[in-house]
Every structure is written in C-alpha cells, then in structure tokens.
Amino acid sequence: MEYKTLGNSDLKVSVIALGTWGLGGGSVWSDRDSTAAEAARLLDACKDQGINYIDTAPVYGTGASETLLGAALAGRRHDFILQSKCSLNWRGEGGNFHYSRDGYTVNNDTRPAAVRRDVEDSLRRMKTDYLDSVIVHYVCKSFPAADTVGVLEDLIREGKIRAYGLSNSQPADLEEYQNAAGGGQGVSVVQEFFSILSPFHGREYFPLCAKYNTSFQTYGVLEEGFLTGPEFLERRFAKTDIRSRIPWVEEKYHAGLRWAFEAWTSLCRAHGCSFAQLVEAWALAQHPNMSLLVGMRRPENVADTARCLELRLSPEELSAMEESVKAIQVAVLDK
C-alpha cells in the first residue's frame, strides 16, 4: 500500500480509500443490505491490504452506514482514518430541500449549528470521540462560507475533527473556503466525481488543488460498476437505484463501451489485470496528489482493488485508453 499526507493536515492516509455508500443499502443500492458482521469482515480485508482510510456520510442509508461502521470499528478505531460528512440531514431543522427518499426528507444546511449537530450525530452513531476528517457533502451558496469554515476550524481546535474538506463543489468554492480559513488549517481534501468517462471537472480542479496543497479524492472511477466489464451492461436495476440513473444504462452508449472494453483487452493481458484495475490505475496517474475512493462491499473487492497500485501504465497506454472513450465522454454527470 502507498500512503500520502492528506492536504495540509498531519493525517497519513492510504492512497486507496474505502467508500461505504453501498453499506447504507436501501432503495439506492437495491441489490443487497449489509450487516455489521459483513462490515467487520470488510474492515478486516482493508487492514490486511493496508487500507486505513474509510469514507462514509450520515445520509448513506440515513444513518445505516455510520451505524454499521461504528459496530465494525469497536476495539480498533485507531487503526483507521475515519472520514464522514456534514450538511445533508433529515432532522427537519431548516436548510434547502435536497431530496426525499425512503420516507425521509433530506435538507442541505451548512449553517454552523447544523454542521456541529451533524458532527455530534456522526460521533454518536459511530461511537467515537473524534472524526479524522469531515467533508461538506454539498457546498451550499445560501449560507456564508465563512460561517461554515469558522465552525469547522472551531471543531478542529476542540479536537472533535482533525481535518475538513469539500465535495460536490467547484474550484471557486475551494478558493472561497481557503480565503475564509485565514490562518487556520484550511481545506485538506476535495472529494469530486472523476472517471475516464467524465474527467473534465476533475481536470479543472487539479491546478487549484496543487496551489493549496489540497488532496483530490475521486469517487465514481468505476462508474458504479459499468467500467468493470461488458457483462455489467446486461444488468438491470430498480428505478430508485443509483445505477439506473446514470447515462451508461442507455443503449446508445453500449456500443461505445463495448468498443472500449475490446480496445482495453490487450492492455489487461499485457499487465495481467482486470478492467477495473486498469481503469483505477488510469485514474491514479492523472494527478500526483490523488486519493482513490472506491465503493467496496465484499472482502474480495478490497484485494482486487489494491492490485491496481502495482500497475505502471505508459503515457502512450494512458492516452490510448482515453482515446477509446472520447466519443462517449460526458462533461457533466451529477448523480
């Protein structure tokens, strides 16, 4: 495993991070619900592979993911760097409407009282005294960034969090948050969608991340499974499932995806890897301070993902991979 310092913090994190959106189950991930025992085995596999960075959020299963992790972390909290999020909550205490799902109405609220309450709720659900990192889940323009930054810096001073970051944001948001931090720690990580099928937003962000020594954490590299192999294109999902709401379920993209898999087959043979490992290695090569956040629900997925770190793709191979999907790349992909 490789490790890097998370932005301006003192946190040493594995380059690969465990994403636990899927642990929340519910209608968003309709094919299975996880148990605390399964979550524990997943963390066992992470420990075996040297993965110490775990990402979750209150709204993943409206508390389910955090609760399962809390049980799985019992007795080994200090083995992991634990990252959760703030701003999206279902307490009915104000903020902007974000969505309704599974009987809950979720609002986006980045006011100081809401952020503090989000952190306290996460600490309770995961049975821990502190969070290593807290991400503003959706940057909200309705409330002053300076107020949000102020409470996050206060939480660092109080020892309740050690770092903070942004997600679902724009480069201008990072600039605003950094300016608001003044002499504080500032933004350590931005967590944004980035894949070979939709790389444009990330590439716009990279220069500013370099300017502020902010880590870029990518999610969606495997496009919720659609880049794991051509057989995934045959799967069907419930209308509420996140995988039914992205472009790649549409037949018009399937010929392009199959063409890409065919083009990548020789690379997989040459490197002795899977399509997933090839795509993950491509992503890691795009930016020097990249954190690869991968949603994994089975122990075997963890070992398979870690293998991507062994791949060394040439500039020509990286370019050829992207050239294979140029015709179907999309500029905006908001799930």
Which pLDDT tens digit goes with each residue over 191-249? 999 999 999 999 999 999 999 999 999 999 999 888 999 998 787 777 777 776 788 88
Q: What is the pTM of this model?
A: 0.93
Query: Tens of pLDDT along the chain (335 residues)?
Result: 999 999 999 999 999 999 998 887 776 655 567 788 999 999 999 999 999 999 999 999 999 999 999 999 999 999 999 999 999 999 999 999 998 988 899 999 999 999 999 999 999 999 999 999 999 999 999 999 999 999 999 999 999 999 999 999 999 999 999 999 998 999 999 999 999 999 999 999 999 999 999 999 999 999 988 899 999 878 777 777 777 678 888 888 889 999 999 999 999 999 999 999 999 999 999 999 999 999 888 899 999 999 999 999 999 999 999 999 999 998 865 54
According to the 3-state scheme, what is the secondary structure of the chain?
A: CCEEECCCCCCEEECEEEECCHHHCCCCCCCCCCCHHHHHHHHHHHHHHCCCEEECCCCCCCCHHHHHHHHHCCCCHHHCEEEEEECEECCCCCCEEEEEECCEEEEECCCHHHHHHHHHHHHHHHCCCCECEEEECCCCCCCCHHHHHHHHHHHHHCCCECCEEEECCCHHHHHHHHHHHCCCCCCCEEEEECECCECHHHHHHHHHHHHHCCEEEEECCCHHHCCCCHHHHHCCCCCCCHHHCCHHHCHHHHHHHHHHHHHHHHHHHHHCCCHHHHHHHHHHCCCCCEEEEEECCCHHHHHHHHHHHHCCCCHHHHHHHHHCCHHHCCCCCCC
List 219's β-bridge partners, or say none. 193
Looking at the domain 3-328, which fold is it? Answer: TIM Barrel (3.20.20)
Domain boundaries, the chain: 3-328
